Chains A and B, each alone.
Chain A
Amino acid sequence: MSCSRRDFLKKGLVGGAVAASLPLSSFKFLTPAEAKSAVGDPAVRWGFLVDTYKCTGCGFCVKACKKENDVPYDLPITRTWVERYVITKDDETHVDSPNGDRDGFKDTKIDGKTIDPKDISKAFFVPKLCNQCDNPACVQVCPVGASYQTQDGVVLVDRKWCIGCGYCIMACPYGVRFFHPVYKVADKCTFCYHRISKGMKTACVDACPFGARQIGDLKNPDDPVTKAILTERVAVLKDEYGTKPQVFYIGLDENVR
């Protein structure tokens, strides 16, 4: 095939005109920020309140969560768990969470050790779940934007887009993420987004017999959760990482990991 300079320029010009007439937007990829703008109500900010004084470590929340969210029941992975702390008079901290407290704490032995009740200075339970951080490290490190933050503040994982690199799992200082063995993608607590966006409570909140767990809208000053956070002495976990966690704890002890 011969191609003179004139032909080449002619064809090039036609090709150029066609390319120029295509709208630029057809070449545009949605940034994760743009994608998230489609999800959630910006007038709402979901937040969570844990009253550690009320938690008895029964594990109903863990059980309910696993069943609600298709997390394999018999595997050690879990979206929420409860830790048991026993601090002895010699200032030793003993912690455990067998099976994430799915079946409750049935053994008085902690981490295989028997502790004489006379030696205990204090003991308590601490429920853990995703902190739905305002500045989530997991979203920052996702290489494909599959982890994203909705407008109402919940961090979600797009199961159809996650490549399963595990970078988000590494980046989370709270250890709330894991690989879902069926979907083969990163998984985590979503504040039961499928429920709260329909006006329901999360499965764990509904399952808690003692009201130790509460979910609410932090942008609504009349919400009981917001009121409690504003008026009571609350703390968050590991604030030194700058992630701005949105799960608040009443009665959080300094020994909590």
Chain B
Amino acid sequence: MVDQLLANSDLIAHGMEWTTKEGFVYPNEFIYWSIQIVLYPYMTGLVAGAFVLSSLYHVFGQEDLKDMARFSLVFSLACLPVAMMPLLMHLQQPFRGMEVLFTPHFTSAISAFGIIFTTYSIIVLSEIWFVYRVYFVEQINALKGKKDLVSSFMRTLYIILALGAYDLSNEAVAIDKKAVKILAGIGIPVACFLHGYAGFIFGSVKANALWMSPLMPVIFIMSAVVSGIALCMLTYIIIMEWKKFTTTLAKGRGDESVQLIKGAEVDVIHKTSRYLIGFLIAAITLELLDQIFRGYTAMKSWDILRSVMYGKDFVNIFILQYLFGNLVPFIMLLIPKASIKRTSVALALILFGVFMMRWNVVIGGQAFSLSFDGFMHYSMPIIPHSMETFKEGLFGALLVGATPFILFWLLNKVIPSLHFTKK
């Protein structure tokens, strides 16, 4: 049986299909970690960032973030299962993925995933429960007596979700609020851990000259918060624009409600972007520090690193990541009187910049051989012709990228996150 399989001429070594070698590369070296591993820190980063954004309001009472807080909390939940998806899709034995939870080998950074991810999920879920408990009870009362199938289904769902806690007294609601505050407080360090350890997974690989850096976890956390905030803002803008558009269609351009939506939108976006700029500065500073330090200390690996950074990956690193992903949006956000359009473009560029940062770390870290004498080039499979090229190609990546939005849409049917406060 094995002999037959071994003799199969269609057999392909993992990584062979998308790796091109140049110079002297060890025979077993390929781009083993491809697009899914680029997406993994990107998606966890979005989760962590969205949560930190919502916590800024709940814990530190940043009132200006109130409308954004509820939205980003639900969005963080929508991203949560997706943080795990790229890992599973990347595994050669996806059905054994559960072993990480059953037999964690604690000297490995990946083994912490189960514990941190579970803890974090519990915190997000319980925080959402406390935020929405009053809403659940209100819905149960409002849907009472309605006979249609959807209403009775929704009512049953809310009864289950309320977990028997129907108390709407002032004391009970006050306890809810306190619980949210505590959970959000615990959640910040846990969210930072969730992402910091993703940075640790890379930063602790001593065999990889590009990855190995104690700054890696901190860099990952900062860029995570940046990407999380940016995605929340962008999604928020898209949804509010859609709302504005439908209201305009129904009531006409000059209607009061249209102006109300517009005012709220500009206000929220303006306030949130201040936090975004702050975290962006921190992220860029750390990344530059890392680069300068490598160049200054010029260890043995610097020769090959330099030829990757300033040669092969120059466009990816300096043009796409630093220029278009960091500098341009930074200036766009700093120029006063940012319009929604300009902010949207800046946000999209920031999201792209963080993605390129993940790409340059994961793919860039494998762009040179362990021999320090050769290079590897990654060509992402576009049209899949096998499960492998689907999973580790464009369509696998798109699947992972689209899932949080589908989940967010579904979640909003149950826990609407877009009730903006009327002024």
Q: Which residues of A contact B (CB under 8 A)?
A: 29-32, 70, 72-78, 81, 83, 93, 95-97, 99-100, 111, 128, 137, 139-145, 161-167, 169-179, 181-182, 184-185, 240-242, 257
Question: Given A141-B109, A142-B108, A163-B96: A175 and B26 within 8 A (CB)?
Answer: yes
Q: State which residues 89-113 of B face A: CB under 8 Å.
A: 90-93, 96-97, 99-100, 102-105, 107-111, 113
Q: How far is the CB of A76 from chain B (nearest CB, A)?
A: 6
Closest to A77 in B: B13
Closest to A174 in B: B370
Is the beta-carbon distance between B205 and A141 smaller than 8 angstroms? yes
Is the beta-carbon distance between B99 and A163 smaller than 8 angstroms? yes
B23 proximal to A (CB < 8 A): yes
Question: Given A140-B108, A144-B105, A164-B92: A70 and B33 within 8 A (CB)?
Answer: no
Question: Given A72-B6, A241-B207: A169 and B32 within 8 A (CB)?
Answer: yes
Question: Given A175-B29, A184-B93, A241-B206: A96 and B2 within 8 A (CB)?
Answer: no
Return the 5 tightest CB-CB contacts between A and B, nearest first: A164-B92, A175-B26, A143-B110, A257-B371, A145-B105
Q: How far is the CB of A50 from chain B (nearest CB, A)?
A: 16
Q: Which residues of B contact A (CB under 8 A)?
A: 2, 5-6, 9, 11-16, 23-24, 26-30, 32-33, 87, 90-93, 96-97, 99-100, 102-105, 107-111, 113, 201, 204-208, 300, 369-373
Is the beta-carbon distance between B32 and A171 smaller than 8 angstroms? no
Q: Tell me which residues across on chain B come within 8 A of A95, comparing CB atoms.
A: 24, 371, 373
Q: Give me 9 other A-B pairs in contact (C-beta within 8 A), A141-B205, A144-B99 excluded.
A: A70-B6, A164-B96, A165-B90, A169-B32, A174-B370, A175-B29, A178-B14, A181-B11, A241-B207
Q: How far is the CB of B190 from chain A (nearest CB, A)?
A: 20
Q: Tell me which residues across on chain A come within 8 A of B113, comparing CB atoms.
A: 143
Q: Tell me which residues across on chain B come within 8 A of A141, comparing CB atoms.
A: 107-110, 204-205
Is the beta-carbon distance between A181 and B12 smaller than 8 angstroms? yes
Question: Given A95-B24, A179-B15: A165 and B110 within 8 A (CB)?
Answer: yes
Q: Tell me which residues across on chain B come within 8 A of A185, comparing CB atoms.
A: 92-93
The interface residues of chain A, by DSSP majority, are classed as loop
A181 CA to B13 CA, complexed, in Å = 5
Question: Given A172-B207, A175-B370, A185-B93: A97 and B27 within 8 A (CB)?
Answer: yes
A30 CA to B97 CA, complexed, in Å = 18
Q: Tell me which residues across on chain B come within 8 A of A128, comparing CB atoms.
A: 26
Question: Given A144-B103, A163-B99, A179-B92: A170 and B32 within 8 A (CB)?
Answer: yes
Is the beta-carbon distance between A144 and B93 smaller than 8 angstroms? no
A170 CA to B6 CA, complexed, in Å = 25
A182 CA to B369 CA, complexed, in Å = 25
A242 CA to B33 CA, complexed, in Å = 24
Is the beta-carbon distance between A163 and B27 smaller than 8 angstroms? no
Q: How far is the CB of B210 from chain A (nearest CB, A)?
A: 11
A163 CA to B33 CA, complexed, in Å = 14
Q: Tell me which residues across on chain B come within 8 A of A96, comparing CB atoms.
A: 24
Is the beta-carbon distance between A75 and B16 smaller than 8 angstroms? yes
19 contacts between A and B (CB under 8 A): A72-B13, A128-B26, A141-B107, A142-B105, A143-B109, A144-B96, A162-B96, A164-B91, A164-B96, A166-B33, A166-B90, A170-B208, A171-B207, A173-B207, A174-B370, A175-B28, A179-B13, A179-B14, A182-B2
